[in-house]
């Protein structure tokens, strides 16, 4: 259904047909409710702690399934038509876009990765005089700054080459990893000559950047590096540098600006959200584009028309409230076969994110997000073409801070005066000093930044919290997946990196649930968040809470095998068929989702296994972090995950789980030790005739479940016997062993 004016729609909303899927979900829900009914009826004869815990866990599973059904009930996606956009607007009429790229640590996020992302964004199909790229270097690294200077020089060769030969893939490292396709690139001899020259220049650039990265001597040469001469990490003044200023119009190179905000030890900096708010203010003073695209430093533009696709949604509705922001899925390159670490997230995004897209719109993913600047500023979609709430200069200063230039630029956005090109098209270099003031560590004091405007503070997942705030004001969001994918990034590999990322997500999402001003419940009761949208956010927010019932339910079979009791129906009972149907039905349902996405059975199993591992190893520490924060004992800490371009050492075993001394691995190791012991105890007891399928003790169900847990945690079983990074450190094994012994003693006391 087209929702744009004119005969050529810029976008089309495509609802998905899913009658059979709905029927499957309702069938599983009916089985879960039947199991709960059985559990409640059995309490009259058995009120043991084991049965009560089973009831709690199964009630939780049913609740979560209800939330899943809500999310997946009415999926939708938007098809964008960039050709229609170019037919509808003259090239000089297209609105400007400010692009934000964020990096935090030059060691964990090597500058060559950031450089490739920046080059891919500078080279997209969009008028160069309508784009400005701002790079936030939160580490204040001279290595990153030096790398971007060299990249800006290379861009003067790379971007004309892309335009001349209509190159589709515009991240140099990815483009030059493939052989040139001569059939698509004009005269063969000219193309090959240019291709080889540009490739050699890129290799020189890459080597130069990597040499600086490995060197202990910082590149502090020339006046450009004066501000880096005595820089300390976490304690330095604000730095704003114009690396390239577009003076050649639409066919030139877009603006490129380096920003490192001021940091002082005693001033909170609010992690990525704080960096994005600084970029918002700096860009408001320099270019003030009405639209913003933010991407992580490793997410390069894989589709050269990605800005045009995003504009189709931002400009394609009769009412702009229908698109406060547009979100692309997070997709990754160089993934290992069958996704052994379960971090490609393709199926999750297709069915969960695609599902919520059919309600009030997708969550804000934190990268690949196209925003209206006015929505970031807290403007409501119901106050169009007015200045309601913005008229008082004193009020604006209280909200946005003490900067006349920032107030002026804000008024232009709110009053919809910032249309077409940039405000300061040829004056960027003269704006750096006032830009430094709004990048200071004290500018936000006694303002609404991070509270009511900008990217919000108070959560490790500032992106989701900010999107929730925007939707609570009444804005909708849209979800689109162009072909080829809009952006591609590098997913973390190995056990520690994957689980650290999930821990951070789980921590931040639970923080949102307990946010007294911006939780989804508050958004529905007092603001404009739809009820079904609220339930969708709750499903996401409870990741960390999920760890408790997951851990308890995983321990129940072992407890029964050790104590000679049972919590599941016997094979001879009719209810055993109910449990078996539920077990088989859920697994077939989830397998069907993976097959629908073209995934293998092995990939399905890897993801099912990682869901169990993640819930018990990463989500539980996330829960504890939030509990300690709520009790005032500690604050949550933002952990940056290492990002690397795909390089597998010769001695490595790709796809094998790796370990370190992190406490996250203790619960998983403890679970494995407990189940190995429980199965051993059960086999000895069965061999001696003390218990068996015909007794009142544990039966086939408990043994199957215990075996299922061990198979799911097979990487930990291998880790007990592995060496090096593939082995679980003895410090973790000892702590897990102590917990396992305590659990066994607890079971015997029941």
Query: What would the pLDDT profile of 247-304 be if each residue is shown by its tens digit?
Result: 887 788 999 999 999 999 888 899 999 999 999 999 999 999 999 999 999 999 999 9
Distance CA 133, CA 124 (A): 12
> In the prediction, which pLDDT does 602 show?
96
What is the number of alpha carbons within 13 Å of residue 425 lying toward its C-beta?
Answer: 13
> In the prediction, which pLDDT does 626 show?
93
Q: Is 272 annotated as a binding residue?
A: yes
> In the prediction, which pLDDT does 635 show?
78
Question: What CA dihedral angle connects 360, 363, 366 and 370, to 10 degrees?
Answer: -20
Within 10 Å of residue 660's Cβ, how many Cβ atoms? 16
Q: What angle do CA 499, 502, 503 make, to 5 degrees?
A: 85
Distance CA 713, CA 671 (A): 8
What strands, in cross-sheet order, belong to the sheet with 97-103?
A: 239-244, 255-260, 131-137, 97-103, 291-296, 369-372, 325-327, 477-479
> In the prediction, which pLDDT does 688 show?
64
Write a three-state SS string for 582-648.
HHHHHHHHHHHHHHHCCCCHHHHHHHHHHHHHHHHHCHHHHHHHHHHHHCCCCCCCCCCCCCCCCCC
Q: Is 296 annotated as a binding residue?
A: yes
> In the prediction, which pLDDT does 636 show?
72
For 360-373, b where at least 16 C-beta lie within 10 A, e where not — what string? bbbbbbbbbbbbbb
What stretches in the chain show pLDDT beneath 50? 1-6, 386-389, 391
> In the prediction, which pLDDT does 106 show?
87
> In the prediction, which pLDDT does 4 show?
45
Give yes or no: 83 in active site: no
Q: Which of 98, 138, 298, 339 is catalytic?
A: 138
Q: Is 339 annotated as a binding residue?
A: no
For residue 214, give the 3-state DSSP assignment.
helix
Distance CA 417, CA 423 (A): 10
Give yes or no: 138 in active site: yes
Q: Which of 98, 137, 339, 463 is catalytic?
A: 463
Can you give the pTM of this predicted structure? Answer: 0.93
Distance CA 484, CA 170 (A): 12
pLDDT digits (tens, 9 = 90+) for 428-451: 888 999 999 999 999 999 999 999
> In the prediction, which pLDDT does 695 show?
54
> In the prediction, which pLDDT does 693 show?
52
Nearest to 362 by CA among 275, 518, 475: 475
> In the prediction, which pLDDT does 653 show?
74
Distance CA 679, CA 706 (A): 7
> In the prediction, which pLDDT does 530 show?
97
Q: Are 658 and 496 in contact (CB under 8 A)?
A: yes
């Amino acid at each position: 259904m087209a929702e744009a004016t004119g005969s050529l729609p810029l976008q089309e909303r495509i609802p998905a047909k899913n009658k059979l899927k709905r029927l499957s979900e309702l069938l599983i829900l009916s089985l879960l409710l039947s199991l709960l009914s059985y559990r409640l009826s059995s309490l009259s004869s058995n009120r043991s702690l084991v049965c009560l815990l089973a009831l709690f866990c199964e009630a939780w599973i049913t609740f979560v399934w209800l939330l899943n059904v809500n999310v997946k009930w009415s999926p939708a996606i938007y098809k964008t038509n960039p050709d229609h956009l170019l037919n509808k607007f003259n090239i000089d009429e297209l609105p400007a876009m400010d692009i934000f790229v964020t990096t935090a640590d030059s060691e964990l996020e090597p500058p060559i990765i950031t450089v490739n992302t920046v080059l891919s964004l500078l080279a997209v199909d969009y008028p160069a005089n309508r784009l400005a790229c701002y790079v936030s270097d939160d580490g204040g690294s001279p290595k990153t700054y030096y790398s971007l200077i060299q990249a800006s020089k290379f861009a003067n060769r790379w971007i004309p080459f892309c335009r001349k030969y209509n190159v589709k893939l515009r991240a140099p490292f990815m483009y030059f990893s493939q052989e040139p396709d001569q059939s698509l690139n004009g005269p063969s001899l000219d193309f090959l000559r240019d291709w080889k020259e540009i490739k050699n220049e890129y290799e020189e650039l890459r080597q130069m950047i990597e040499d600086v990265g490995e060197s202990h001597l910082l590149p502090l040469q020339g006046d450009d590096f004066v501000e880096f001469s005595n820089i300390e990490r976490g304690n330095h003044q604000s730095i704003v540098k114009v690396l390239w200023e577009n003076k050649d119009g639409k066919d030139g190179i877009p603006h490129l600006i380096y920003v490192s905000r001021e940091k002082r030890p005693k001033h909170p900096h609010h992690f990525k959200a704080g960096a994005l708010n600084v970029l918002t203010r700096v860009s408001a003073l320099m270019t003030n584009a009405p639209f913003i695209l933010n991407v992580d430093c490793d997410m390069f533009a894989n589709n050269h028309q990605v800005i045009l696709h995003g504009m189709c949604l931002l400009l394609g509705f009769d009412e702009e409230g229908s698109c406060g922001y547009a979100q692309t899925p997070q997709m990754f390159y160089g993934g290992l076969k069958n996704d052994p670490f379960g971090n490609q997230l393709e199926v999750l995004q297709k069915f969960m994110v695609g599902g919520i897209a059919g309600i009030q719109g997708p969550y804000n993913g934190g990268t690949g997000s196209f925003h209206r600047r006015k929505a970031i500023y807290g403007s409501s979609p119901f106050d169009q073409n007015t200045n309601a709430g913005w008229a008082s200069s004193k009020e604006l200063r209280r909200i946005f801070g003490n900067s006349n230039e920032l107030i002026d630029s804000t008024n232009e956005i709110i009053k919809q005066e910032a249309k077409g090109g940039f405000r300061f098209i040829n004056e960027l270099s003269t704006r750096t000093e006032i830009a430094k003031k709004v990048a200071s560590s004290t500018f936000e004091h006694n303002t609404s930044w991070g509270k009511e405007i900008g990217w919000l503070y108070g959560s490790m997942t500032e992106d989701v919290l900010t999107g929730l705030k925007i939707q609570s004001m009444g804005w909708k969001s849209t979800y689109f997946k162009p072909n080829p994918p809009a952006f591609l990034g590098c997913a973390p590999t190995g056990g520690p990196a994957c689980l650290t990322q999930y821990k951070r997500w789980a921590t931040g999402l639970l923080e949102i649930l307990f946010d007294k001003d911006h939780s989804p419940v508050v958004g529905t009761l007092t603001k404009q968040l739809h009820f079904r949208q609220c339930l969708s956010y709750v499903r996401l927010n409870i990741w960390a809470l999920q760890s408790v019932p997951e851990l308890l339910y995983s321990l129940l079979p072992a407890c029964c095998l050790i104590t000679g009791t049972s919590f599941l129906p016997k094979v001879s009972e009719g209810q055993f068929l109910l449990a078996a149907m539920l077990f088989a039905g859920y697994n077939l349902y989830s397998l069907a989702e993976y097959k629908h996405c073209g995934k293998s059975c092995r990939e399905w199993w890897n993801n099912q296994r990682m869901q169990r591992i993640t819930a018990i190893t990463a989500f539980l520490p996330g829960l504890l972090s939030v509990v300690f924060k709520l009790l005032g004992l500690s604050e949550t800490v933002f952990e940056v995950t290492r990002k690397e371009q795909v390089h597998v050492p010769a001695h490595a075993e790709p796809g094998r789980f790796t370990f370190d001394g992190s406490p996250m691995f203790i619960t998983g190791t403890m679970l494995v030790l407990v189940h190995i012991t429980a199965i051993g105890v059960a086999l000895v007891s069965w061999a001696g005739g003390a218990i068996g399928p015909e007794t009142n003790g544990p039966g086939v169900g408990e043994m199957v479940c215990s075996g299922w847990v061990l198979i799911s945690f097979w990487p930990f079983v291998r880790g007990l016997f592995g060496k090096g990074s593939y082995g679980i450190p003895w410090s973790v094994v000892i702590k897990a062993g102590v917990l396992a012994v305590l659990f066994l003693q607890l079971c015997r006391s029941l």
